[in-house]
A = this chain, B = another copy of it.
Amino acid sequence: DFDNALSNDCKPAFGRAADALEGLLTNGIVNWGSPVARALEDCQMLMRQAKFSDRTPLVSALLEGPPSSGKTALAAHIAKNAGFPFVKVLAPSDVVGYNEPAKVHHIKRVFDDAIRSPLSIIVLDDIERLIDYSPLGQRYSNTVLQGVMVLIKRPPPPGHRLFVLATSSRRELLHELDILNSFTAIIHVSNLSRSEQAVKALKEMNLFDDKQCQEFHQKTAGRKLWIGIKKLIASAEMARQAENDYEIPTKLIGLLEDDQALQLPNC
């Protein structure tokens, strides 16, 4: 279960990498429901395979799920707590403005560094952004894509081990790019889909007090909800800027409805 999954982690990553991981975990990992626990457990299992299997010195996992569902935070959480001596986050903002060869060069260097260390983790955040994907005209950097495809399949030298944790909001795109086969495993990260899950998240992060949670639940129970944890946090914070505290739950509900994240009451 969830507590177990967390307690199985051993020693945290260190130094600059740890700072980078921290920056991706501003609001922590809240256990708002079983999908969170399941994803965490799957990740732990792959982490052990990377650590212990001789026949597969290279293990690569894709964390995929809707925008704002918490993919990046989850990957950062695993990387932080796996206890691997080498941990590196490779995010699109690291290479913003780089041209294509420079991007590949940067990514290659990260992988080269990683396999030089005996036991390494690379978080490859937001693949579609790393490859500059845009749906209008189906544009992307094939140069970066090919580099990534080769590097996530390149085995480390004998005796070394590498665990790659990639994230993406576009599983369908990765399928069309024929890169899904390159991963050892694919793990799904879910949106919140029920009022109770939202209430649990709001309460655990101290966004709403008990009374506000109660009101929110009363008004949304049974209505279809579909929202990522990151978006829920942002909308709740926006609602909290209302002039009067009692307006906040209604405001949040209004924002969710406008976003079509919450089913309207009577329809």
Contact = CB atoms under 8 A, between A and B. Distances in A.
Interface of A: 23, 26-27, 45-46, 48-49, 52-53, 55-56, 67-68, 92-93, 96-97, 99, 101, 104-105, 108, 129, 132, 134-140, 142-143, 145-147, 149-151, 153-155, 158, 173, 176-178, 181, 184-185, 205, 207, 233-234, 237-238, 240-242
Contacts of A26: 55, 155
13 contacts: A45-B241, A48-B241, A56-B238, A92-B146, A93-B153, A97-B101, A97-B147, A99-B101, A134-B177, A135-B177, A135-B178, A136-B176, A136-B177
How many copies make up the complex? 6
Contacts of A150: 92-93, 96, 129
A129 B108 contact: no
Nearest to A44: B241
Given A135-B178, A150-B129, A237-B49, A207 B96 contact: no
Given A139-B142, A150-B96, A184 B238 contact: yes
Contacts of A104: 96-97
A143 B141 CA distance: 10
A238 B139 contact: no
Would you list the 4 A-B pairs with minimal beta carbon distance, nearest first? Answer: A97-B104, A53-B237, A132-B146, A93-B154
Of A46, A55, A132, A158, most buried by chain B (CB within 10 Å of CB) is: A55
Contacts of A185: 238
Contacts of A184: 234, 238
Contacts of A49: 237-238, 241
Of A46, A155, A176, A238, most buried by chain B (CB within 10 Å of CB) is: A238
